[in-house]
Amino acid sequence: MGHPFEPFMREAIALAEQGRWHAAPNPTVGAVLVKDGDIVARGYHTACGQPHAEVECLRDAATQGVDPSQCSLVVTLEPCNHYGKTPPCSKAVLDAGIRHVVIGLLDPNPKAKGGAEFLRENGVLVDSGVLEQECRDLVTDFLTWVETPLPYTILKLASTLDGKIATRNGNSRWISGPESRARVHELRRNVGAVIVGGTTFRKDNPQLSCRIEGVEKQPLAVIITSQLPNVPEAYKLLTERPEQTIFWTSEESAATDAAKGLRDKGCTVMPLPVMEGDTLGGRDIGYGLRWLRNEHKCLYTLCEGGGRLALAMLELGLAQEFQLHMAPKIMADAKAPGLFDGRAPATMEDVLGLRMIATEKSGDDIIITLRRRED
């Protein structure tokens, strides 16, 4: 048997999602007031610097003529207990006369935690851990920012039902449908950088831009490759927005004439160090991601493959979210490139395990959202 307030927590989670992107670098949080088995007020954290979800919910209650003291508060994240850009929500909850609070996830931020303890000390009944995993998934971006120096990275790939990402001669336009492609442009609008591997750059000649009318700022374009282009004019990125294009490459490639030519056009050419402990000379992608967050204030990045880069991002724990756009198409060609490449497990115990957290229909496609099992 689950907790009786689980259905209301699911509503709070759905509300919180409406604040996605805008709340950053704060967590996305939703809250509802429940009276006699019905939701009577709602709120979510709409944007950084704006009132938190609990306060928005109390404001909605006032508008609806609801007395909060007669309600239970259901909130996805523990009410904060400190003065930041806004006063502590724990005090606002107590001052509203609420006597029962249901929490999804206790706040992992040491600066803000303690709201549950404060409320209990003041006679409020507090239940915690209701749909805890779902509420943790809701704030994985925030946890990434608090616990690591990395941006939150979304890995996105499109494939056929048999896991192919292009034909054997490299054609991939279009595997997914127009609705899914529009979803990608929404992602690009909200991230600070789009990352691809060198093979994808050379074969697809992508723009890596958000083609939504009215977008004011385009994401940076990052290409990871040891083979820098000698003919920049052949690539859309290098003719249309070289100043927003970054190459992550080896020390040797960064010192070539090709690198100088790219820098002369306005591109950034940045050598990545060899990953510590990697005897094969693999580049430290994490170093580049930390640089994006530190130097360009990128809280979110989007990686769009190809297969070897995608696998590395998952294996190294650098992609916190994987969105697979699966189209109802079958290629049935063993020589066509697959979603991932670079492993040879001997048994099923050696495979890379993922955890499904959401599925949704997108036109004719299915979008499956996954994380690594330990995340």
* CA nearest neighbour of 228 among 209, 246, 210, 208: 246
The shares of helix, strand and coil residues in the chain, as percent rounded to the nearest 5, are 35, 25, 45
pLDDT value of residue 337: 87
Would you say 80 is a known binding-site residue? Answer: yes
Would you say 304 is a known binding-site residue? Answer: yes
User: Boundaries of CATH 3.40.430.10 in the chain?
Assistant: 148-372
User: Boundaries of CATH 3.40.140.10 in the chain?
Assistant: 5-145
Checking if the pLDDT of 280 tops 50, the result is no
pLDDT value of residue 343: 81
CATH class of the domain defined by 5-145 = alpha beta
pLDDT tens by residue, 2-57: 799 999 999 999 999 999 999 999 999 999 999 999 999 999 999 998 999 999 99
Mean model confidence pLDDT for the chain: 92
Would you say 47 is a known binding-site residue? Answer: no
173 or 365, greater pLDDT: 365
Would you say 89 is a known binding-site residue? Answer: yes
Structure pTM? 0.91
Q: Three-class SS of residue 232?
A: helix
Would you say 310 is a known binding-site residue? Answer: yes
pLDDT tens by residue, 106-138: 988 777 678 899 999 999 999 999 999 999 999
Please tell me which residue in 17, 54, 213, 360 is annotated as part of the active site: 54
Q: In sequence order, what are the residues at sequence separation of 6 or more whose Cβ sits closer than 8 angstroms to the Cβ of residue 249?
A: 224, 225, 226, 228, 259, 269, 270, 271, 272, 283
pLDDT value of residue 232: 80
Distance of alpha carbon 294 from alpha carbon 299, whole angstroms: 9
Task: Quote the percentage of the chain above a pLDDT of 70.
Answer: 97
Please tell me the CATH code under which domain 148-372 is placed.
Answer: 3.40.430.10
Instruction: List residues bridging with 159 in a β-sheet.
Output: 326
Mean pLDDT of all residues in 259-282: 82
Q: In sequence order, what are the residues at sequence separation of 6 or more whose Cβ sits closer than 8 angstroms to the Cβ of residue 348?
A: none
Would you say 181 is a known binding-site residue? Answer: no
Q: Catalytic annotation on 147?
A: no
Distance of alpha carbon 161 from alpha carbon 123, whole angstroms: 55
Distance of alpha carbon 354 from alpha carbon 187, whole angstroms: 22
Checking if the pLDDT of 1 tops 90, the result is no
Which two three-digit tokens encode residue 231? 């003919």
pLDDT value of residue 85: 65
pLDDT value of residue 345: 85
